[in-house]
Structure formats: structure tokens, C-alpha cells
Structure 1
Amino acid sequence: MHLKRFTDAKPYEAPNHFHMTGLRLQGFEDKGPTNQWVGLSHFLPGGGAGPDSTPFEKVYVVLEGEMSVIIDGEVTVLGKYDSCTIPPNEVRTIENQCNEICTMMVVIPYPPEKSA
């Protein structure tokens, strides 16, 4: 087992994100997961990311607040404990369109060059 306490989670910068603080809960570390990494993102009101895509799928799980996921002009609002999978190469925008902070867990495979 690889244990990592929340107090040991380190912030990370996510490209094309705004008004967001991300903490790496698991991944990119010795004896950590070999297939994916897990982030915890706190989005202020008006915060978000995109539009962009990744060459691999990702999973979003909203833990608090709500997040609007916009794909091809269609808006889907995720609330507490809602989740979605974004397929590889799908262009998405995410926006916190409410007045509360949105806390979201993100699970993403390592980029091909990582190969843990």
C-alpha cells in the first residue's frame, strides 16, 4: 500500500486552467500508482479550464458545489457526487458558474512519456 496523507499533497499547475488550485493526491512519485494520477481541484466562482482536450480519457467527480461541462455547445451541470468521463481528444470547457467553490477530483492516466 502507498499511503499519502492529505497534508502531504502538493499543489500543481494545470495548463489552460484559471481561478483554480490543484493538489496532487496520488501520482508522479516513487511507489505511487503506475497507471494514473489523482488530483483535487478547487475552482473559485468563475473558474474553469479550456477549451482543450487530451489524448487520453479523464474522469471528473464533483465533491462540493457544481461544475458546468461544455461539449459542442451543450452544457451539462455536475452536482455533488456526480461524475463524468471525458473521452480522448474530446474538446471540453469546464466552468464554475455558481457562487460557491467547486471541489472536484480528477483521475487521469499518465501521459505516454511518463510510463511509471
Structure 2
Amino acid sequence: MFGKRFAEAQPYDAPNHRGVVGLRLQGFEEGGPKNQWVGLSQFLPGGGAGPDSTPFEKVYVVLDGDMTVIVDGVESVLSKYDSCTIAPGEVREIVNRSNHTCTMLVVIPYPAGAMP
């Protein structure tokens, strides 16, 4: 088992994100996961990401608050414990349109050549 305390989570900057603080919970460390990394993103009101895409899939799980996910012009609002998978190459935008912080768990595979 590889355990890590929340107090040990390191912040990271994600490209094309705004109004967010990201913390890496697992990944990119000796003894950690070999296939994916896990982040905790805290989006302020008005915060978000995109529109953009990545060559790998992503999984979002909303832990608190609401997040609007926009794909192909279709908007879906994810609320507490709702989740979605964004396919490789799928253009998405996410926006926190509420007045509350949205906390989201993000699971992403390692980019090619970046595995520890």
C-alpha cells in the first residue's frame, strides 16, 4: 500500500485553467500509482477550464458544489457525487456558475513517457 496524507498533497498548475487550486493526491512519486494520477481541484465561483482537449481520457467526480460541463454545445450540470468521463480528443469546457466553491476529484492517465 502507498498511503499519502492530505497535508502532503502538493499544488499544481493545470494549463488553461482559471480560478482553481489543484492538489495532487496521488501520482508522480516513488511507490505511487503506475497508470494514473489523482488530483483534487477546488474551483472558485466563475472558475473553470478550457475549452480544450487532451489525447487521453479524464474522469471528473464532483465532491461538493456544482460544475457545468460543456461538450459539443451541450451543457450538463454535475452536482455532488455526479461524475463523467471525457473521451480522448473530446473538446470540453467546465465552468463553476454557482456562488460556491466546487470541489472535484480528477483521475487522469499518465501522459506517454511520464510514468514514474
Question: Which string of whole-angstrom CA distances, capped at 9 and with x for unpartnered residues, describes residues 49-71 of structure 1?
Answer: 00001101010000000000001
Counterpart Cα distance in 2 of 1:4 and 1:89: 31
Tell me the equivalent position of 2:81.
81
Counterpart Cα distance in 2 of 1:115 and 1:67: 29
Tell me the equivalent position of 2:39.
39
Give aligned-pair identity as a percent: 69
* Paired residue type of 1:113: G
What residue ranges of structure 2 are gaps of 5+ in the alignment?
Answer: none
How many residues are matched? 116
Structure 2 contact 71–91 (Cα < 8 Å) conserved: yes
Give the TM-score normalised by the residue count of structure 1: 0.99
Question: Which string of whole-angstrom CA distances, capped at 9 and with x for unpartnered residues, describes residues 78-116 of structure 1?
Answer: 000000000000000000000000000000000002133
- Mapping 1:1-116, distance limit 5 Å: 1-116=1-116
* Paired residue type of 1:18: R
Return structure 1 stretches of 4+ with deviation > 4 angstroms. none
Counterpart Cα distance in 2 of 1:36 and 1:112: 11
What residue ranges of structure 1 are gaps of 5+ in the alignment?
Answer: none
* Paired residue type of 2:31: K
Counterpart Cα distance in 1 of 2:113 and 2:100: 37
